[in-house]
C-alpha cells in the first residue's frame, strides 16, 4: 500500500466562506492501480474555490493536474475524501443523478475540441442542452445566441472541418457555457492552438470570467496561467502553492 503524505499547511489562500463557495474539496485521494502496483495520483488534497474565481492550475507532467480536474468535476471516481459543488457531495450521488448534476452545473473545455464532425456548429452547441431536457426551440435559440456571443454568429451552419482550430475551440467554449453553468473546467484549452489563436481563446475566456463565470483551468503555459486571479501549483499529487495573482491590464 502506498504511503499517503499530508497536505502542506502553509498556503496563502484562505478558506472561502460558505455563502460564496462553489467548490470545496476535502482530503481527496485518487489511487491508480495496475496489478499489485499502486500510484497515489492525489494525496489528500484540500481546495476551496469561490464563485467568480479564475483558478489556473499548473505543475510538471504527471503531477496530478488533470487528475485533480477529473476528480473534482466528478468525471472520475475518488478513493477518499469528498468534493462538494455548491454544497452537494457529488461522489455520493447515484451515477444518473451525478451525471444530471454535472450537466446542469458544469461546462467542460478540453485540449481536443471533441466536436461531432457530422454536426453543424449550432447542433454541437445545442446537443448538451437537448440531453439536459431543454426544449428544442429554446435549445436552438440559446445555441445561436451563445455562438454569436463568441463571435461565430456567421458560422451556424458550418461543420467543424470547415473551421480553424481557434474557431473550433470557440464552438467548444460556446457548448460549455450555453447551459449557463456555475463552473467551467478547462484542460489545456490552448494546447492545440498557435499563439495568436491561443490569445484569442484566452481573451474570450477572460471576458466570460469578468462577467461572472467561475473557471478552473489546467495549463502548462505561464502566459495562460497569468490570466487567472489565482494560481495553484500541483506536484506529486499535492497542492504545494496557492497564491493570488495580480490583476492583468
Per-residue model confidence as pLDDT tens for the chain (249 residues): 333 333 333 344 445 555 588 999 999 999 998 888 889 999 999 999 999 999 999 999 999 999 999 999 999 999 999 999 988 999 999 988 888 888 888 999 998 999 999 999 999 999 999 988 899 999 999 999 999 989 999 999 999 999 999 999 999 999 999 998 989 999 999 988 888 889 999 999 999 999 999 999 999 999 999 999 999 999 999 999 999 998 765
How many other CB atoms are there within 10 angstroms of residue 59's CB atom?
A: 23
Q: Where are the domains of the chain?
A: 20-115+166-244
- The answer to whether the beta carbons of residues 182 and 22 sit under 8 Å apart is yes
Q: Which residue in this structure is represented by grid cell 493570488?
A: 244
pLDDT of residue 248: 65
3-class SS of residue 92:
helix
CA dihedral 212, 232, 190, 237 (to 10 degrees): -130
**CATH numeric code, 20-115+166-244:** 3.40.50.300
pLDDT of residue 105: 87
Q: What are phi and psi of 74, to 5 degrees?
A: 90, 5
pLDDT of residue 249: 54
pLDDT of residue 17: 52
Instruction: Give pTM, 2 decimals.
Output: 0.86
pLDDT of residue 167: 93
pLDDT of residue 140: 96
- Cα angle, residue 181 at apex, residues 180 and 186 outer, rounded to 5°: 120
pLDDT of residue 144: 96
Cell of 114: 471533441
Picking from 88, 86, 91, the residue whose alpha carbon sits closest to that of residue 42 is 91
Instruction: Report d(CA 143, CA 127) in Å as an integer.
Output: 9
pLDDT of residue 4: 37
pLDDT of residue 9: 35
pLDDT of residue 8: 37
pLDDT of residue 96: 86
Amino acid at each position: 500500500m502506498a504511503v499517503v503524505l499530508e497536505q502542506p499547511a502553509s498556503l496563502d489562500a484562505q478558506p472561502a466562506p460558505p455563502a460564496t463557495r462553489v467548490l470545496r474539496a476535502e482530503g481527496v485521494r485518487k489511487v491508480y492501480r495496475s496489478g499489485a502496483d499502486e500510484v497515489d495520483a492525489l494525496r489528500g488534497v484540500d481546495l476551496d474555490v469561490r464563485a467568480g474565481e479564475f483558478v489556473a492550475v499548473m505543475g510538471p507532467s504527471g503531477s496530478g493536474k488533470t487528475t485533480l480536474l477529473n476528480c473534482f468535476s466528478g468525471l472520475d471516481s475518488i478513493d477518499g475524501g469528498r468534493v462538494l459543488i455548491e454544497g452537494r457531495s457529488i461522489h455520493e450521488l447515484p451515477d444518473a443523478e451525478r451525471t444530471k448534476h454535472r450537466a446542469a452545473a458544469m461546462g467542460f473545455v478540453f485540449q481536443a475540441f471533441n466536436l461531432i464532425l457530422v454536426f453543424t456548429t449550432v447542433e454541437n452547441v445545442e446537443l448538451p442542452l437537448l440531453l439536459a431536457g431543454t426544449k428544442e426551440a429554446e435549445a436552438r435559440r440559446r445555441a445561436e445566441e451563445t455562438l454569436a456571443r463568441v463571435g461565430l454568429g456567421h458560422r451556424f451552419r458550418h461543420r467543424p472541418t470547415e473551421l480553424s482550430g481557434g474557431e473550433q475551440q470557440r464552438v467548444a467554449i460556446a457548448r460549455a457555457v450555453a447551459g449557463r453553468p456555475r463552473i467551467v473546467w478547462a484542460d489545456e484549452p490552448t494546447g492545440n492552438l498557435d499563439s495568436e489563436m491561443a490569445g484569442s481563446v484566452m481573451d474570450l475566456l477572460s471576458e466570460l470570467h469578468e462577467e461572472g463565470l467561475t473557471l478552473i483551468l489546467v495549463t502548462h503555459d505561464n502566459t495562460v496561467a497569468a490570466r487567472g486571479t489565482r494560481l495553484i501549483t500541483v506536484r506529486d499529487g499535492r497542492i504545494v502553492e496557492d497564491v493570488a495573482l495580480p490583476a492583468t491590464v
